[in-house]
Amino acid sequence: MSIHTTVSKRVALCLTALLLIFVVPLVTQAVFPANGTWLKSVSVKIWAAQGDTDLGKAPVVAAGDNFTINWKATGKDINDNPTSDGITCVNNWGTDKNSEGATTDSILTSRTFFITCAGVGAGRIAGGTITVGRPDLIISSFIITGLVPKENTSGVFLSGPSTVKISLTNLGTTAVLNKNFKVKIVYGLGTNTGVTADTAILGKTFFVNDGIGIGGRNKVAKVLDDMDMFIQPSTGTGPDVNNLPLNSWYFTACVDADSEVQESNETNNCKTIGPGKFALRLNN
C-alpha cells in the first residue's frame, strides 16, 4: 500500500477543486488550515509494515496479527521549497492529525484505509486496502533414512536410531509470525491415507519456534533433520508386529498438529509414507 502523489493548483481555482476532491465516502474529511505557509502542492505517502518489513503495494496480513500504518505528508511552497508547515491530516482509522506518524493495530477482515492531508491552499488524499489472508502449511517432503533391513526379509527393518527429515512449506498468502507450532509423527497400523491415533504405537513431536515465510511469494521450507527416532514396536505394550501383515504399518507426519495456526486449508497438513514393518534390533 504505497501511494505517493502530488497535486498543484493555482490560488484562484484550488479551493473549489480540492474541496470536490475531498468529498469522498469517509467518516471524516480534512479542513484547510487557516494558518501556515501558502502551499502550491501537497504529497502524501502511506504504507504498511510488519516489524522492519514493508508489506509492499498489495499488503496481506493474517487475521489478528499486528501491523503498522505509516504516513508522511509534505508540501511545496510557491518557490518549490519543501515544507510541512501548517499541514494537518485526518484519517479513517485513528485520531492522530500530525503530518507524519504511525499507528499499530490488527484487523480481522480486509479493510481500506484513507488519509487526507491539507495545508493552506493545497491538499491530497492517499490510501489503499489491506487484505486479510491465511497461511496454508503442508509437509512437502517426508523421508526416513538410516533404516537397516532385516536379513532375508523384504519390507522389514531393524528397529534403532534413524533420521527423520521433514520439509515444511507455506502455500498460503501470509507468513506465520511469532507463533510456535508442532510437527508430530506417529507410527502404527493404518493405510496410505494415514495412521489413526488409536492404532499408533509410537509418536514423536517436534517444535517449530521461528515461524515460516509466505509460500505464495517466496517458498520457505523448514527442514527438521538429524532427529533420532527409536522404533521399538515389540515392547510387549503394543500389538505383536511379527504377526501382523506387512502392508499395515505406516508413518504419518502432520504439521500444526494442535491446530495452533488458523489456515486457509486445514485438511492438507499430513503426509504418510509406508508400508514398512519393524522388528527388534538383534544384539549381534
Mean pLDDT of the chain: 75
* Residues 119 and 158 both lie in one domain: no
In a domain, residue 122? The reply is: yes
Q: Could you give the CA distance from residue 89 to residue 117 in angstroms, rounded to a whole number?
A: 4
Confidence of residue 109 (pLDDT cuts 50, 70, 90): very high
The residues pairing with 123 across neighbouring beta strands, listed in sequence order, are 118
Please state, in angstroms and rounded to a whole number, the distance separating the CA atoms of residues 181 and 258.
7
CB 41 within 8 A of CB 120: no
Question: Same domain, yes or no, for 250 and 180?
Answer: yes
Query: Is 148's pLDDT higher than 80?
Result: no
pLDDT score at 168: 87
Same domain, 168 and 70: no
Check pLDDT > 70 for residue 229.
no
- Tell me which amino acid residue 277 is: K
CA angle 238/240/242 to nearest 5° reads 145
Domain membership of residue 151 (yes or no) is yes
Q: Are residues 146 and 67 in the same domain?
A: no
SS3 call for 247 = helix
Q: How many domains does the chain have?
A: 2
Residues 147, 59, single domain; the answer is no
What is d(CA 76, CA 79) in angstroms, rounded to the nearest whole number? 7
Alpha-carbon dihedral 165, 169, 174, 177, rounded to 10 degrees? 10
Checking if the pLDDT of 191 tops 60, the result is yes
For 69-91, what is the mean pLDDT?
Answer: 95
In a domain, 24, yes or no: yes
117 inside domain: yes
**pLDDT score of 69:** 96
In a domain, 160, yes or no: yes
Please give the model's pTM, rounded to 2 decimal places. 0.62
Q: Please indicate, yes or no, if residue 236 is contained in any of the structural domains.
A: yes
Looking at the structure, do residues 174 and 273 belong to the same domain, yes or no?
yes
From 117, 133, 149, give the residue that closes a domain. Answer: 133
Distance CA 99, CA 199 (A): 64
Q: Which residues of 262-278 are buried (b: 16+ CB within 10 A; e: fewer)?
A: ebeeeeebbbbebbbbb
Per DSSP bridges, beta strands 221-230 and 122-133 are unpaired
pLDDT (average), residues 242-270: 82
Q: Is residue 212 part of a domain?
A: yes
pLDDT grade for 103, boundaries at 50, 70 and 90:
very high
Same domain, 274 and 145: yes
Instruction: Among 108, 133, 158, give the residue marking a domain's end.
Output: 133
Residue 64 has pLDDT above 50, yes or no: yes
| Same domain? 157 vs 65 | no
Partners of residue 70 on adjacent β-strands: 47, 102
Same-domain check for residues 260 and 210: yes
Cα distance between residue 43 and residue 110, in whole Å:
26
For residue 72, the cross-strand partners are 45, 100
pLDDT of residue 200: 73
With a cut of 90, say whether residue 2 has pLDDT above it: no
Average pLDDT over residues 256-283: 78
CATH number of residue 57's parent domain: 2.60.40
Of the three residues 133, 152, 178, the one that is the final residue of a domain is 133
Residues 95 and 193 grouped into a single domain: no
Q: Which domain holds residue 129?
A: 3-133
- Mapped onto helix, strand or coil, the DSSP state of residue 174 is coil
Same domain for 125 and 9?
yes
Same domain, residue pair 189 and 126: no
Cα–Cα distance for residue pair 133/240, rounded to 1 Å: 47
Residue 284 belongs to some domain of the structure: no
Average pLDDT over residues 131-141: 90
CATH code for position 265: 2.60.40.10
